[in-house]
């Protein structure tokens, strides 16, 4: 996954691949490390980076071990989702964006759904991601099941 970030008004790019990240800030050498993350409560996380533990609290700012950072995150995939949502007509397949595990199905074949309604929850990189319907319609097919391992691009649900 690639994210464009701004930390304390300094632009950077963050690449996350399973248990590794690479942080490339403008004018600085890239930082690449192994990590793991566990959600402790909504907005509270324990992050382990190469054996060192960090408490992270997310809100209007991010606090790491008591130190505040102003952080903005832009996921280029969000623009793709908006383009797809605007298409609206015909069958639309909702596919996994990265490798993961299906945690929960929120719909069944035949269910009526609204635009933005949750369809399936996929855990990837120890984070749960709810895949949402790009449009109002009917669930034509559910092509996965709970606890299934999914690959990037694998179709999970079809809406018509």
Nearest-angstrom CA–CA distance, 25 and 11: 6
- pTM assigned to the model: 0.47
Q: How much is the pLDDT for 86?
A: 47
Question: Residue 82's pLDDT is what?
Answer: 47
* Predicted pLDDT of residue 75: 65
Residue 85 confidence (pLDDT) = 46
Which pLDDT value is given to residue 129? 83
Question: What pLDDT, on the 0 to 100 scale, is given for residue 5?
Answer: 82
Q: What is the mean pLDDT of each run of 10 residues along the chain (160 residues)?
A: 83 89 91 90 84 81 82 66 52 84 94 92 84 90 93 88
Strand partners, 56: 45, 64
Question: What does residue 42 show for φ and ψ, rounded to 5 degrees?
Answer: -55, 120
Question: Distance between CA 116 and CA 120 in Å, rounded?
Answer: 12
**Helices of type H across 42-109:** 77-87
> What is the model's pLDDT at position 78?
59
How many angstroms from the chain centroid is the CA of residue 59? 17
Instruction: Report whether 44 contacts 55 (CB < 8 A).
Output: yes
Task: Determine contact, residues 160/112, Cβ cutoff 8 Å.
Answer: no
Collapsed DSSP state (helix, strand, coil) of residue 138: strand
* Six token digits for residue 54: 């960090």
């Amino acid at each position: 996954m690639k994210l464009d970030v701004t930390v304390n008004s300094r632009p950077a790019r963050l690449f996350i691949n399973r248990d590794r990240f690479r942080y490339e800030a403008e004018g600085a050498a890239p930082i690449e490390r192994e990590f793991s993350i566990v959600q402790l409560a909504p907005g509270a996380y324990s992050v382990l980076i190469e054996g060192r533990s960090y408490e992270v609290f997310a809100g209007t700012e991010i606090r790491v071990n008591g130190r505040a950072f102003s952080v903005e995150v832009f996921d280029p995939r969000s623009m793709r989702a908006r383009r797809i949502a605007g298409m609206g007509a015909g069958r639309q397949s909702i596919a996994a964006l990265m490798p993961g595990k299906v945690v929960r199905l929120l719909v069944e074949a035949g269910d009526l759904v609204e635009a933005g309604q949750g369809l399936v929850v996929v855990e990837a990189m120890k984070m749960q991601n709810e895949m949402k319907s790009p449009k109002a319609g009917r669930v034509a097919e559910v092509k996965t099941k709970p606890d299934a391992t999914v690959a990037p691009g694998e179709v999970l649900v079809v809406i018509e």
